[in-house]
Structure 1
Amino acid sequence: MNQIENSTVKDINEILHLYQDAREYQYKKESVVWPNIPISMITQEIIDKHQWKLIINGKIAGIWATTFQDPLIWEDRNVDPSVYLHRIALNPDFRGQKIVKEIIEWSKIFAKSEEKQFIRLDTVGENQGLIKYYTSCGFDYLGMVNLKDTSSLPAHYAKAPVCLFQMSTE
């Protein structure tokens, strides 16, 4: 049985490993590569209960983070009640098994329980494969934007415009 639950500090090494796998995959796909995610950031997300994991047969199949605010990326749209998904990283052993779609289905339930109107995510750069994939998952592609201020964001946000995606919880 698949389980979704908050990550714990015991998961930090596995989380770091999955982020490294994701960076290697991004590099191989010639897309914008995530920077190293600081342990302090992951730890704070765990403390705040914003770091999640999908467990299949006792193994972490995927991880992601959630927030309820994302003003530097979503700017004026940040006023809309939303759940923002960040850094979805999959265990390579589970690629091709529709893990992201399972995460999105969970996020619909989670967003409604938090009385949010939208589920949102972004990607850096014009990654046509991800645009096609996220729209096939039910997201509306809102286009690409150049962020006004990336100084407080992870470094990869300064490298290219950002693609925005949104899904209604209705």
Structure 2
Amino acid sequence: QPITYDRAYILGAGGHYDTDISDDVAAAGDLGLYPDNTMTLYEILVGMKSTSGSMLCYPRYPANEWFITLEEGGFIPPTPPTPAAADNNLRYLGPWTEEITPTDRPQVRLHTIKKEESIGFYLYNDAPIPNKVVLVMLVNRCLLKYVPKGSLTDKELERARELLHAGLMARGHWGETVP
């Protein structure tokens, strides 16, 4: 049974806010969504909704680096993005929007383990008016277990690699059957 965790933020026109989902008690604005046990994995589905539909959420991993970049140097969104900036269109490079991951069917899936680098969210209000955004996170706790070396067949190892590549390695996909 997943646990729903909501966080709401109100940002002025062109306003921005940095948050992360780590459990770092020293970090301001962290959401504390990392497990305390080394044999636990949290699968987190992230959905968004906002009052104007113009909220952008940039993933950052680690929390202070842009996750989505291209090979060309400097081809990242400006910090903070501003409508008057010369690189105006770069602000649309890689953010999540509520069209991509709505709260009723979130499409963004994150997996966290104990002591992992923090995953950051950089929220930016792209609307000319103040905007409220709600991040809705469905957290599913998955128990891990050790697999003894040599106990899997070559076919099972190949299937595990396929699942890992497809992002389906963890159990608990809200009713989906993991082949």
TM tier, smaller: under 0.3
TM-score, normalization: structure 2? 0.25
- The higher-RCO structure (CA 8 Å, 6+ apart) is 2
TM-score, normalization: structure 1? 0.26
